[in-house]
């Protein structure tokens, strides 16, 4: 049992008044999965959500040696639909080959998971699987996703459910998620996925996002955020990290990450802005 340590508390300050507080659980594990550091409860179970995408790209990487770094980065991404993101998705669809009308993420190519879905279609084409229903739990594509996550985490998920984009998502304790992220680069094909993320961090999310910024500021690292205030990262040398904002507020992940990792300082404070773009406060770890 890991000794009890209080969660990280991130405050939202508007002017001189603290307007909200977010509790953040965080854990770091080594290459063997042993807990090195924790804040809050590393045994809490949450869903991996989009933080699983780099691991879910492993079956695609193993099946397709014709894909380049941009293809693998966008397949691992939760993009913000800027032209550079949409161009990358369309390129991956063309290589699949598949049409935009085959995407089952809802919202088409503009959906932030369209790169992952394009990658799943490319996998289906290569393996000879039908593309219709590739998002469903019983489809071979989703069975391949499950197998990759189990391989990385070295454990079956506590539970599965349907993610926001219609595919399967997997529930694990935080420390097991961290182990999976620490391990995936050393698995077959994982080095290609990690190299793609490091080369194109701006494709993984976009300007200002904590995962993109961490990879830009610490080029050895890989990081991937997920819905409801989740972020997984690895330092490229065997250490894995998971952070989860208890109330799901993603705005707390950057400051909490900087506090837990003792940097980068550039993530330690986020400006709170109003609809006019004016700075009206800050988001920062409680002193």
List, as one string, the DSSP characters of 145-156: HHHHHHHHHTS-
Q: Where are the domains of the chain?
A: 8-285
Instruction: Render each residue's pLDDT in the chain as its tens digit; 287 residues.
Output: 566 689 999 999 999 999 999 999 999 999 899 999 999 999 999 999 999 999 999 999 999 999 999 999 999 999 999 999 999 999 999 999 999 999 999 999 999 999 999 999 999 999 999 999 999 999 999 999 999 999 999 999 999 999 999 999 999 999 999 999 999 999 999 999 999 999 999 999 999 999 999 999 999 999 999 999 999 999 999 999 999 999 999 999 999 999 999 999 999 999 999 999 999 999 999 98
- Whether residue 26 is preceded by a cis peptide bond, meaning omega within 30 degrees of 0, is no
Burial label, 275 (beta-carbon count in 10 A; 0-12, 13-18, 19+)? exposed
Angle at CA 164, nearest 5°, toward 162 and 170? 45
Helix extents (H) in the chain: 53-56, 58-63, 69-75, 83-95, 114-127, 140-153, 174-184, 190-199, 201-204, 210-217, 253-261
CA distance 61 to 66: 9
Contact 225, 250 (CB under 8 A): yes
251 to 95, 229, 284: CA distances (angstroms):
35, 8, 10
- Which residue's structure tokens are 């996703």? 145
CA 28 to chain centre: 16
Overall CATH class of domain 8-285: alpha beta
How are the residues of the chain apportioned to helix, strand and coil, as percentages rounded to the nearest 5? 40, 25, 35
pLDDT tens digit sequence for 101-133: 999 999 999 999 999 999 999 999 999 999 999
Residue 75, pLDDT score: 98
Residue 1, pLDDT score: 56
Residue 5, pLDDT score: 87
Any bridge partners for residue 282, and if so which?
Answer: 13, 271
Q: Would strands 159-162 and 168-173 be described as parallel, antiparallel, or unpaired?
A: antiparallel
CA distance 200 to 74: 9
CA distance 158 to 178: 15
| Helix, strand, or coil (residue 225) | strand
| pTM tops 0.85, yes or no | yes
CA distance 255 to 287: 12
pLDDT tens digit sequence for 154-185: 999 999 999 999 999 999 999 999 999 999 99
Residue 31, pLDDT score: 86
What phi and psi, each to the nearest 5 degrees, are found at residue 35?
A: -70, 125
Angle at CA 104, nearest 5°, toward 99 and 107? 90
């Amino acid at each position: 049992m890991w000794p009890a340590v209080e969660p990280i508390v991130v405050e939202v300050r508007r002017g001189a008044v603290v307007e909200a507080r977010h509790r953040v659980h965080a854990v770091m594990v080594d290459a063997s999965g042993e807990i090195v550091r924790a804040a809050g409860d590393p045994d809490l179970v949450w869903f991996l959500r989009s933080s699983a995408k780099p691991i879910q790209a492993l079956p695609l990487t193993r099946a397709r040696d014709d894909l380049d770094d941009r293809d693998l980065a966008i397949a691992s991404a939760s993009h913000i639909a800027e032209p550079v993101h949409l161009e990358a998705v369309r390129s991956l669809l063309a290589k699949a080959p598949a049409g935009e009308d085959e995407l089952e993420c809802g919202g088409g190519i503009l959906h932030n998971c369209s790169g992952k879905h394009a990658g799943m279609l490319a996998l289906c084409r290569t393996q000879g699987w039908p593309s219709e229903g590739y998002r469903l739990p019983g489809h071979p594509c989703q069975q391949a996703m499950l197998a990759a996550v189990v391989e990385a985490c070295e454990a079956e998920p506590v539970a599965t459910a349907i993610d926001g984009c219609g595919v399967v998502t997997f529930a694990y304790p935080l420390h097991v998620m961290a182990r999976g992220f620490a391990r995936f680069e050393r698995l077959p094909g994982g080095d290609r996925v990690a190299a793609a993320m490091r080369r194109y961090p701006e494709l993984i999310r976009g300007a200002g996002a904590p995962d993109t910024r961490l990879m830009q500021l610490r080029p050895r690292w890989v990081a991937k955020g997920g819905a409801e205030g989740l972020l997984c990262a690895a330092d490229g040398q065997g250490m894995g990290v998971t952070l989860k904002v208890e109330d799901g507020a993603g705005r707390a992940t950057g400051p909490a990450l900087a506090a837990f990792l003792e940097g980068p300082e550039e993530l330690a404070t986020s400006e709170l802005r109003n609809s006019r773009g004016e700075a009206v406060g800050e988001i920062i770890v409680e002193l």
